[in-house]
């Protein structure tokens, strides 16, 4: 079974500074990888996804993530954060291949705080 | 707005009761997924339906059941409710082919409070 680890429960970043949120996964093959964002009282919004191909993927709101097979990681980055980026960020893994569960496995989330 | 709708937004009920949560997927999506988000367990996959049939099961309790109707909307039924069932319940949908993988789009959730 797959698992996802987000090592940082909270991260505080100054507005305008760069951001990197860590995500490590455990899965027997190359999984489908996702980053979602959840603002208070809201549902989850898909930021970006990795299915195959280029290991650097671009998403919405200026976010990007890099898939590193050797490190089983899929870290999320943004060069300059805005106060509106304050939210909870979730990394998720989906299993490849038919026949298995297609539900996503989520990490515990990283709470991002933006300092003015 | 993801295009996935969920009703009701909030639900308050008592232990031992039964409730039904409803989800309408995005237009054209055949797969519906249910997730539970709680402080202890985080976000957990409960169950998936594809075009009216159960496709996959996650950590769904026996007291919980779901179905997907011919118009593709789905309902999650929670019975014999316990305090620990208080959580945010999300529905997600995707295009959902049998041999393809598509991203899931989440609804706004139903917050269930069991007193």
Q: What is the distance in angstroms between the Cα of B87 and the nearest Cα belonging to chain A?
A: 12
Whole-number pLDDT of residue B108: 95
Structure tokens at B103: 């991203």
Cα–Cα distance list, A21 to A18, A24, A62, B80 (Å): 10, 10, 14, 39
Whole-number pLDDT of residue A85: 96
Whole-number pLDDT of residue A100: 40
Cross-chain residue pair A46–B56, CB shorter than 8 Å: no
Cross-chain residue pair B45–A104, CB shorter than 8 Å: yes
Cα separation, B6 vs B54, in Å, equals 19
Q: What is the distance in angstroms between the Cα of B56 and the nearest Cα belonging to chain A?
A: 5
Cα separation, B75 vs B9, in Å, equals 14
Residue to mutate among B29, B39, B45, with most A CBs inside 10 A, is: B45
Percent share of chain B, pLDDT over 90: 80
- Residues 11 through 30 of chain B touching chain A, CB cutoff 8 Å: none
Is some CB atom of chain B closer than 8 A to the CB atom of A40?
Answer: no
**Strand, coil or helix: what is B83?**
helix
Q: Provide the residue count of chain A.
A: 116
Query: Of the candidates A44, A51, A101, which has its C-beta nearest B101's C-beta?
Result: A51
Nearest CA to A108 among A3, A2, A6?
A: A6
Compute how many other C-beta atoms are within 10 angstroms of the C-beta atom of residue B77: 13
pLDDT tens track for B53-86: 998 888 899 999 999 999 999 999 999 999 999 9
Structure tokens at A9: 């429960």
pLDDT tens track for A10-67: 999 999 999 999 999 998 777 889 999 999 888 899 999 998 888 999 999 999 999 9
Whole-number pLDDT of residue B35: 97
Cross-chain residue pair A45–B106, CB shorter than 8 Å: yes
Handedness of CA A79, A83, A85, A89 (dihedral sign): positive
Checking if the pLDDT of B93 tops 50, the result is: yes
Whole-number pLDDT of residue A48: 95
Query: Could you identify the residue written with the tokens 């027997």?
Result: A28
Whole-number pLDDT of residue A2: 85
Whole-number pLDDT of residue A99: 42
């Amino acid at each position: 079974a797959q698992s996802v680890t987000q090592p940082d429960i909270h991260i505080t970043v100054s507005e305008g500074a760069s951001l990197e949120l860590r995500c490590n996964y455990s899965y027997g093959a190359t999984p489908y990888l996702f980053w979602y964002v959840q603002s208070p009282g809201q549902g989850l919004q898909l930021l970006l996804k990795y299915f195959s191909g280029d290991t650097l993927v671009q998403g919405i709101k200026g976010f990007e993530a890099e898939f590193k097979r050797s490190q089983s990681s899929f870290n999320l980055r943004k060069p300059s954060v805005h106060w509106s980026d304050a939210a909870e960020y979730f990394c998720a893994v989906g299993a490849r291949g038919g026949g298995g569960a297609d539900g996503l496995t989520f990490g515990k989330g990283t709470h991002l705080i933006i300092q003015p | 707005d993801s295009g996935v709708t969920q009703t009701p937004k909030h639900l308050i009920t008592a232990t031992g009761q039964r409730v039904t949560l409803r989800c309408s997927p995005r237009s054209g999506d055949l797969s519906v997924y249910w997730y539970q988000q709680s402080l202890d367990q985080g976000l957990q996959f409960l169950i998936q339906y594809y075009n009216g049939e159960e496709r996959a099961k996650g950590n769904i309790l026996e007291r919980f059941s779901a179905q997907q109707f011919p118009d593709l909307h789905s309902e999650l039924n929670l019975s014999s409710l316990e305090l620990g069932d208080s959580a945010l319940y999300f529905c997600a949908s995707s295009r959902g082919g049998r041999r393809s993988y598509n991203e899931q789009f989440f609804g706004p959730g139903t917050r269930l409070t069991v007193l």
